[in-house]
Amino acid sequence: MEMLASYLGTEVARMVVGLIGVIALVSVNALFLIWMERKVSAHIMLRPGPMEVGWHGSVQTICDAVKLMAKELITPEEVDRPVYYLAPVVVFLPVLLTFLVIPFSQSLIIKDLNVGIVLILAFSTLTVLAILMAGWSSNNKYSVFGAIRSVAQNIAYEIPLLVTVMSILLMVGSFKLSDIVAAQGRYWFILVQPLAFILYIICATAETNRTPFDLPEAESELVAGFHTEYSGMRFALFFLAEYTNMFIVSAVATVLFLGGWRGPILPGVVWFLLKVYALIFLIMWFRWTFPRVRFDQLVTFAWKILIPLSFANLLITAFLMKLF
């Protein structure tokens, strides 16, 4: 990708090649993550997980994807059609756009915008809009419940997330992701900002709607929450977006706290992906350890603990930055 782009030497070619690469990455990543999720969950429960198709069931998710594509798209009778059809697209597009600014290595970045981190945070919030659209238009009480929870949850975790990211930005003084990585030349920010890292991971788990904060799709109480009425490829798009969101929040955490592509011997991309998948494993580990929180518990936790702690962290960071 890198060589081809420099050969053509044009920004447009870089974008096109980049987008194709991103779409390939998104689908392969989702296929891999679903397999990984099933394996991680299985091993935590002392099971082997999928074992039949391919080596240790590695082709299983491809078969599942083919099955999903072949499935009929069922549209319930009384849905709000335009919004219902639009929701899977709205959930997927921002996910693709976010990849524009993620630096996979020194040069492997489609467009190094100077508002990179702001763009990621802005677009990832659009997921909530898509969930609201899906839940509201489905004409199903469980879907509406999922959507309502998602919106209320969004207010709870978005503030500590932004404030936590702000404390990192204060140390760097730039919104550019490559600058943030460059600033971690001597040490990773996780060493000086451990509290910020923990807060970010908690908020990221909530952002990706994963257990213990998977209230919008809480399958044991709301059937499947906001995507109850979706089937086939439309459902697959929601699924794809969820797993790609996991990749994105882990990539942002890697850039902010774990020194991005930096690492000895191995090339930058490898280090970047290793760190991202380690963080994804952490998020999966959460899922198979913690039970789902109740709604009031989540809001209490966010407003009474996450927000005060993140503000305290920001103030201390600002104070220390002024001091030294």
Partner 1 sequence: MIAYFKEILVGFWSLLAGMAVTIRYFTKPIVTVQYPREKIAMSPKYRGYPQLVIDPETQTHRCIACEMCSRTCPSQLITVEGAKFPGEKQKRATRYIHEHYYCSLCGLCTEVCPTSALEYSQEYRLAGFSREDAVIDHLLLLQQRQKAAGLPVTPVPTDADIAAAAAAEAAAKEAKAKAAAAAKKPAEGSEVKE
Question: Least distance in Å: CB of 35 to partner 1?
Answer: 16
Rounded to the nearest 10 degrees, the angle between the axes of helix 232-257 and helix 116-137 is 150
Question: Which are the contacts of 234, defined by CB distance < 8 A and separation ≥ 6?
Answer: 73, 88
Question: Least distance in Å: CB of 44 to partner 1?
Answer: 5
Site of interaction with partner 1 (CB under 8 A): 40, 43-48, 51, 198, 285-286, 288-290, 305, 309
Evaluate whether 278 touches 222 at the Cβ level (below 8 Å). no
Question: Least distance in Å: CB of 290 to partner 1?
Answer: 7
Evaluate whether 213 touches 153 at the Cβ level (below 8 Å). yes
Question: Least distance in Å: CB of 50 to partner 1?
Answer: 12
Q: What is the sign of the dihedral through the CA atoms of 177, 169, 203 and 158? A: negative
Tokens 């990749």 correspond to what residue? 247
Q: What is the sign of the dihedral through the CA atoms of 178, 276, 169 and 113? A: positive
Neighbours of 300 (CB within 10 A): 13
Evaluate whether 207 touches 126 at the Cβ level (below 8 Å). no
Comparing C-alpha atoms, which of 182, 201, 178, 200 is closest to residue 102?
A: 178
Compare residues 10 and 300 and give the one whose CB is closer to partner 1: 300
Question: Least distance in Å: CB of 309 to partner 1?
Answer: 8
Compare residues 97 and 190 and give the one whose CB is closer to partner 1: 190
Comparing C-alpha atoms, which of 72, 3, 60 is closest to residue 35?
A: 60
Question: Least distance in Å: CB of 47 to partner 1?
Answer: 5
Compare residues 85 and 311 and give the one whose CB is closer to partner 1: 311
Question: Least distance in Å: CB of 250 to partner 1?
Answer: 17
Compare residues 59 and 224 and give the one whose CB is closer to partner 1: 59
Compare residues 143 and 167 and give the one whose CB is closer to partner 1: 167
Q: How many whole angstroms separate alpha carbon 34 and alpha carbon 17?
A: 26
Compare residues 47 and 111 and give the one whose CB is closer to partner 1: 47
Residue 267, preceding bond cis, omega within 30 degrees?
no
Compare residues 187 and 285 and give the one whose CB is closer to partner 1: 285
